[in-house]
Chain A
Amino acid sequence: MTGVPHDILGVLRAIGRFVLGGLALVGRIVIFAGRAIGRAATPPYYPARLGEQLLVIGWFSLPVVGMTALFTGAALAQQIFIGGSRFNAAATVPAVTVIGIVRELGPVLGGLMVAGRVSSAMAAELGTMRVTEQIDALTTLRTDPFRYLIGPRVLAATLMMPLLVLVSNILGVLGGFILATTRLGFNAAGYLDRTVSFLRTDDVVSSLVKAAVFGFIIALMGCYHGFTSSGGAEGVGRATTNAVVSAFILILMSNLVITVIVFGG
């Protein structure tokens, strides 16, 4: 009988440790983010590093983001057509496709794809630099690692994601358009007309705001987990996994928050 209160205490203790550990982690990440923003905003700047990251994050993500949007837009149009025709609403395909793509699927799928590509690469690169003492070496070579490594990455990802999502939105709508006009019998001019007339400014703005937030999350998670990694090759592997998983979850969470704020009220 004496074991029961003891077990309860043990459970409470475990919950307490978990909550405290979580809060401490959030605190560390917030401090890390604050430092990254502070250093990115003040000189000395490293324009060559920024340019490199703009290219790596923006340009080299275009194929994967573009293809994702194209295929998803087409599949979405097909599904809306099937679902809509059950209650004579098949004509809503252009409107629902453009809303679905611009408000949700363009930024979210784009964000997830870029997170898979970029967060993991950043975590692996910075993690390897940490393990091989290259980050300590920067400090002894009169260079602040936050300015040199992290500032350019966070800035580049936050700037490039809106552009990528813009492309993603256009290709997503294009995917729906191609499928609808070739297989579902829609008239091309009519489809485009309905698409454009249904789209509102705040749809686009919310899409791009989401994209910028996701870009920030992607770089922040990649940099944080890589920069703080320890324990050799295994540690770098763990950092890479944690970067991608945490970026995914934060993207989906912040997406819900932004959606509720912009469209829920």
Chain B
Amino acid sequence: MSAKIALRGVAKRFGPKVVLDGVDLDVGAGESLVVIGGSGTGKSVLIKSILGLLRVDAGSIVVDGVEVTRLRGAALAAHQAKFGMLFQGGALFDSLSVWRNVAFALPRGRGAAKLKAAALDNLARVGLGADVADLRPSELSGGMQKRVALARAIAARPEIIFFDEPTTGLDPIMADVINDLIVSLVKDLRITALTITHDMASARKIADRIAMLYAGHIIWQGAREMIDTSGNAYVDQFVHGRAEGPIAMQVRSA
């Protein structure tokens, strides 16, 4: 199986701060990979680099056999059109109604009624009814906003979807609802998924494979079942959430 996404030696620094320092990582087609790591370890920088929202300083990022680090203009836009993304805070457009948010990436010019029907269909997939369609995002709870954002991310049926801290800020029950939705959507729609999180419950539920990012490198990767027997002191400390261990807590943020 050739990799859908292949990263080799990806490096990125902001001023003197080295965030990614030679990341090698493969995501297979249809696979759900979860990257775990502490706050400020560059998880968001990683996915923004793959999306082409950030330019890397060195290394190669290949998606579907195409080197994407040097893409510009229309070619970059075509690359970005393969992706859907669920942002940490939802990033819903607060000036638009819920259904207009969900229909945002759908081709225009089909008429508002058809667009709205497509939006309602995607809302139904995340368990939301037509009653929320005309509300503004600010009128929804955090969990509902996440669901709307999820509906928006899948609406255009992307080949690859990125989940940025999908359960952050949600209560444990709503977090599990989101996890279940992610699992079923990825399976039903056969989407390649890359999730970044520090929520181990979420990682255990969503992942086929787990990789850990620390100090700018992938320090461990393996199947979900192996996470508890990794034999890696860093992974163990993170998985069990211990203050004591090889990972020294960073005080300053990225």
Q: Interface of A with B (CB < 8 Å)?
A: 132-134, 136-137, 139-144
| A144 cross-chain contacts in B, Cβ below 8 A | 77
Q: Is B53 in contact with chain A by the CB < 8 A criterion? A: yes
Asked if A134 and B105 sit within 8 Å, CB to CB, the answer is no
Bound CA span A204–B85, Å: 51
Asked if B91 and A139 sit within 8 Å, CB to CB, the answer is no
Q: Interface of B with A (CB < 8 Å)?
A: 48, 51, 53, 77, 80-81, 83-85, 87-89, 91-94, 104-105, 152-153, 156
Asked if A132 and B104 sit within 8 Å, CB to CB, the answer is no
| Residue in contact with A132 in the complex, picked from B51, B53, B89, B152, CB distance below 8 Å | B89
| A141 cross-chain contacts in B, Cβ below 8 A | 104-105, 152, 156
| A136 cross-chain contacts in B, Cβ below 8 A | 48, 53, 85, 87, 91
| A132 cross-chain contacts in B, Cβ below 8 A | 89, 91
Chain B binding site: helix, strand, loop or mixed by DSSP?
A: loop
Chain B nearest CB: distance from A141 CB in Å? Answer: 4
Bound CA span A141–B80, Å: 8
Chain B nearest CB: distance from A147 CB in Å? Answer: 11
With A134-B91, A134-B93 already in contact, the answer to whether A140 and B85 are too (CB < 8 A) is yes
| Residue in contact with B83 in the complex, picked from A133, A134, A140, CB distance below 8 Å | A140
| B156 cross-chain contacts in A, Cβ below 8 A | 141-142
Q: Apart from A136-B48, A141-B156, A144-B77, what are 16 other A-B pairs with CB-CB below 8 Å?
A: A133-B88, A133-B89, A133-B91, A134-B92, A134-B94, A136-B85, A136-B87, A137-B87, A137-B91, A137-B93, A140-B80, A140-B84, A141-B152, A142-B80, A142-B105, A142-B156
12 A-B residue pairs with Cβ-Cβ distance under 8 Å, sorted by A, are A134-B91, A134-B92, A134-B93, A136-B48, A136-B53, A136-B91, A137-B87, A140-B80, A141-B104, A141-B105, A141-B156, A142-B77
Chain A binding site: helix, strand, loop or mixed by DSSP?
A: loop
User: How many A-B pairs fall under 8 Å by CB?
Assistant: 41
Chain B nearest CB: distance from A50 CB in Å? Answer: 15
Asked if B51 and A140 sit within 8 Å, CB to CB, the answer is yes
Chain B nearest CB: distance from A5 CB in Å? Answer: 29
| B152 cross-chain contacts in A, Cβ below 8 A | 141
Write the chain A residue with the least CB distance to B89.
A132
Write the chain B residue with the least CB distance to A135.
B91
Bound CA span A203–B92, Å: 48
Write the chain A residue with the least CB distance to B83.
A140
Write the chain B residue with the least CB distance to A129.
B93
Chain B nearest CB: distance from A45 CB in Å? Answer: 11
Bound CA span A143–B48, Å: 16
Asked if A137 and B85 sit within 8 Å, CB to CB, the answer is yes
Write the chain B residue with the least CB distance to A48.
B108
Write the chain B residue with the least CB distance to A52.
B95
Chain A nearest CB: distance from B246 CB in Å? Answer: 31
Write the chain B residue with the least CB distance to A46.
B108
| B53 cross-chain contacts in A, Cβ below 8 A | 136, 139
Chain A nearest CB: distance from B234 CB in Å? Answer: 29
| B105 cross-chain contacts in A, Cβ below 8 A | 141-143
Bound CA span A106–B3, Å: 63
| B89 cross-chain contacts in A, Cβ below 8 A | 132-133
Asked if B77 and A133 sit within 8 Å, CB to CB, the answer is no
| B153 cross-chain contacts in A, Cβ below 8 A | 140
